[in-house]
A and B are shown apart, each in its own frame.
Chain A
Amino acid sequence: MIKTSMGLDSRKMAFWAFIGSECLLFGSLISTYLVYKGRSLTGPYPHEILNIPFTSFSTFDLLMSSLAMVLALAAVQRGDMKQGKLWLLVTALLGLVFLGGQFWEFSHFVREGLGLTTNLFGSTFYVLTGTHGAHVTVGVIWLLTHWVQALRGKLGPANAMTVEITGLYWHFVDVVWIVIFTVVYLIQ
């Protein structure tokens, strides 16, 4: 483990700085969405196609994946790799469920006539939620990598920090969705 002069793990410090930069990325995408909100000249408009019950389920799914992630980390830290493998897989599967839901939602919107270039709502909506979905995809691949490592016996308390960093990324993806769910779906 490489420590900084402050005695902190250098990987964790670097990752927090990365998450800070991600705040600015999503901040710019959210502000773009808000600036163009309600300025589409043609439909479909948000209130016509956004499905709140369906997205509420996706939000619930992502919140539960965050719970599974902290349980996975706690299990790996105490050396309980049976539980660690289980919760890592559960987290990844819940991420896949979220991605499946987003794929279904995007397909449905395209069938309803909302493409990336249809109107300002389509452009800003797809770029914002699509960027978030890309982050979820990276997170799922990362989690499955840890799961395979655990299956091969290459993951344990000694390298729990790598799982903790993955967890930081996953929880950040979750908090970004908390904001998107409110700003895009509920405040129409």
Chain B
Amino acid sequence: MSEQAHATTATYLRIAAILVMLTLIEVGVFYVPTFQALLVPILLVLSAIKFTLVVMFYMHLKFDNRFFAFLFGGPLLLGVAVVVSLLFIFYGALRLRTGTRFPGIDGICIPAS
């Protein structure tokens, strides 16, 4: 695959429009009480879509040599693994030590403040 081939200006504008729409949906979902139960998964999915669009089209990974995708994707997956592992280690250790139950891990809802 060519290292130089990039998207057209029209594609860049379409991607920008999609990114703005996704951001508006994110903020909208945040304020709608109906979505509170599913807020975290919805926001994570929307964020992942925005992340992917920027990386694939604006950073040209979709069009560039796949080795660049490997150079970026490898450490990115490692970074995500670090985040997930630390969360499990921290909350797992805390739960064992104190017997505390956590929202999202122990199937309980977040209490209203």
Q: Which residues of A contact B (CB under 8 A)?
A: 6-9, 12-13, 16-17, 19-21, 23-24, 26-28, 30-31, 34-35, 47, 52-53, 56, 59-60, 63-64, 66-67, 69-71, 73-74, 77, 167-168, 171-172, 174-175, 178-179, 181-182, 186-187
Residue among A52, A168, A171, A178 facing the most chain B CB atoms (10 A cut-off):
A178
- A-chain residues with CB within 8 Å of residue B78 when the two chains form the complex: 23-24, 27
How far in angstroms is the closest Cβ of chain B from A182?
4
A26 to B15, CA, bound (A): 25
- A-chain residues with CB within 8 Å of residue B90 when the two chains form the complex: 35
A-B contact pairs, 25 of them (CB 8 A): A8-B65, A8-B67, A16-B72, A20-B72, A23-B79, A24-B79, A27-B78, A27-B79, A31-B82, A31-B86, A34-B87, A35-B86, A35-B90, A56-B23, A59-B23, A63-B16, A63-B23, A67-B15, A67-B58, A70-B58, A71-B9, A168-B59, A182-B47, A186-B30, A187-B40
Q: In the complex the two chains form, is A179's CB within 8 Å of B71's CB?
A: no
Q: Quick one: given A24-B79, A27-B82, A47-B113, are A178 and B54 in contact (CB under 8 Å)?
A: yes
A12 to B68, CA, bound (A): 9
How far in angstroms is the closest Cβ of chain A from B62?
13
A171 to B87, CA, bound (A): 27
- 3 nearest A-B pairs in the assembled complex, by CB-CB distance: A27-B79, A20-B75, A182-B47
Partner of A28, one of B12, B19, B30, B82: B82
Q: In the complex the two chains form, is B80's CB within 8 Å of A27's CB?
A: yes
- A-chain residues with CB within 8 Å of residue B12 when the two chains form the complex: 67, 70-71, 74
Q: In the complex the two chains form, is A23's CB within 8 Å of B76's CB?
A: yes
- A-chain residues with CB within 8 Å of residue B79 when the two chains form the complex: 23-24, 26-28
**In the complex, which range does the number of interface residues on chain B fall in?**
35 or more
Q: Quick one: given A27-B80, A27-B83, are A20 and B71 in contact (CB under 8 Å)?
A: yes
Interface string of B49-75 (1 = CB under 8 A from A): 011001100110000010110011011
Q: Which residues of B contact A (CB under 8 A)?
A: 3, 6, 9, 12-13, 15-16, 19-20, 23, 26-27, 30-31, 39-40, 43-44, 46-47, 50-51, 54-55, 58-59, 65, 67-68, 71-72, 74-76, 78-80, 82-83, 86-87, 90, 113
Partner of B67, one of A6, A64, A74: A6
Q: In the complex the two chains form, is B6's CB within 8 Å of A17's CB?
A: no
- A-chain residues with CB within 8 Å of residue B72 when the two chains form the complex: 16, 19-20, 23
Q: In the complex the two chains form, is A23's CB within 8 Å of B75's CB?
A: yes
How far in angstroms is the closest Cβ of chain B from A24?
5
Q: In the complex the two chains form, is A182's CB within 8 Å of B67's CB?
A: no
Q: In the complex the two chains form, is A179's CB within 8 Å of B6's CB?
A: no
- A-chain residues with CB within 8 Å of residue B67 when the two chains form the complex: 6, 8, 13
